[in-house]
A = this chain, B = another copy of it.
Amino acid sequence: MFVIDPRLEASSIFLVDLALCQARLQADARWPWIVLIPRRAGLGELEELEPHDLETLMGEILLAGRVVRALGEVLGFGVEKLNVGALGNVVAQLHVHVVGRRGDDPAWPGPVWGFGAAVDYPAASMPVILDLAPKAFRACARYFD
């Protein structure tokens, strides 16, 4: 049975269930940042996904990249570069980060993982994000077809 690791759950907020992954917003206002968690039980590495799921994952990574750009616009963070990473050193459950970066962000040009402490989103911005993000996923998915 697919269950999300409690640490992933605590550090992120549900956005939408895609064909393969649950897409969640990383609870860190420093970067527009989506975490994709394949909704399959017991996965740790990309190679453990079925070939069809791997293909779906790649599509969902691109989709998340577009939504990260859209979120960046709403949040006044102009995304200049996407960073995509599947690490899993802290939480072993397979998950993929899609992070919007720009040349003057706090960790640039280093990676975001393990950099300083997360900054909460202002409570007032959460309803806007939670309203916008699923719509952006749908709009961008249409754009892909």
By a beta-carbon cutoff of 8 Å, the part of chain A in contact with chain B is 44-47, 54-55, 57-58, 61-62, 65-66, 81-90, 92, 101, 108-111, 113-114
Contacts and interface: CB of A to CB of B under 8 A. Distances in A.
Nearest to A87: B83
A43 to B, nearest CB: 13
B114 A110 contact: yes
A83 B97 CA distance: 12
Contacts of A111: 85, 87, 89, 111, 113-114
A84 B83 contact: no
Nearest to A66: B47
B110 A89 contact: yes
